[in-house]
């Protein structure tokens, strides 16, 4: 596990996790804002972006808040996500995790944000809300 406490920042706004058919091209609304991620597999096109960018007819889970781990994180570090997700699991907070080249992002339901912040702080991490 990570031996050091981590610093996280809560991003402004709410986010959505949308699902499109795997054969669809990435739509224009999928990019922009504080965070956007497009992931294609053989069975789906998954998009994370600001909630207000996702058209209402698109299948999506909305009203997520996002915590960004302050980075960049070295690729040799071990247990970063385990340290964070373990604290959230103990607090009963479900999450959606994303990783980029520089850092990690945790999305939690807006209704669980305060509980998530408290759990992370109790585990020794700092969270700027």
Per-position pLDDT tens, the chain of length 129: 455 899 999 999 999 999 999 999 999 999 988 999 999 999 999 999 999 999 999 999 999 999 999 998 888 888 899 999 999 999 999 999 999 999 999 999 999 999 999 999 999 999 999
The whole-angstrom separation of Cα 82 and Cα 115 is: 18
pTM for the structure as a whole: 0.92
The whole-angstrom separation of Cα 78 and Cα 80 is: 6
Q: Where are the domains of the chain?
A: 7-128
Task: Produce one character per residue of 61-98: b if its CB has 16 or more CB atoms within 10 Å, e if not.
Answer: bbebbbbbbeeebeeeeeebeebbeebbeebebebbeb
CATH no., domain 7-128: 3.30.2130.10
Quick check: 51 and 33 in contact, CB under 8 A? no
User: How many other CB atoms sit within 10 Å of the CB of residue 4?
Assistant: 10
């Amino acid at each position: 596990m990570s031996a050091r406490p981590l610093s996280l920042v809560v991003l402004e706004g709410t986010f959505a996790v949308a699902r499109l058919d795997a054969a669809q091209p990435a739509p224009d609304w999928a990019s922009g804002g504080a965070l956007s991620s497009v992931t294609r597999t053989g069975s789906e096109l998954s998009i994370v972006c600001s909630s207000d960018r996702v058209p209402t007819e698109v299948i999506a889970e909305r009203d997520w808040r996002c915590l960004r781990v302050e980075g960049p994180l070295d690729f040799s570090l071990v247990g970063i996500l385990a340290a964070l997700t373990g604290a959230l699991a103990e607090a009963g907070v479900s999450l959606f995790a994303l990783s980029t080249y520089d850092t990690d992002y945790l999305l939690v339901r807006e209704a669980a944000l305060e509980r998530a912040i408290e759990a992370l702080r109790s585990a020794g991490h700092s969270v700027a809300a």
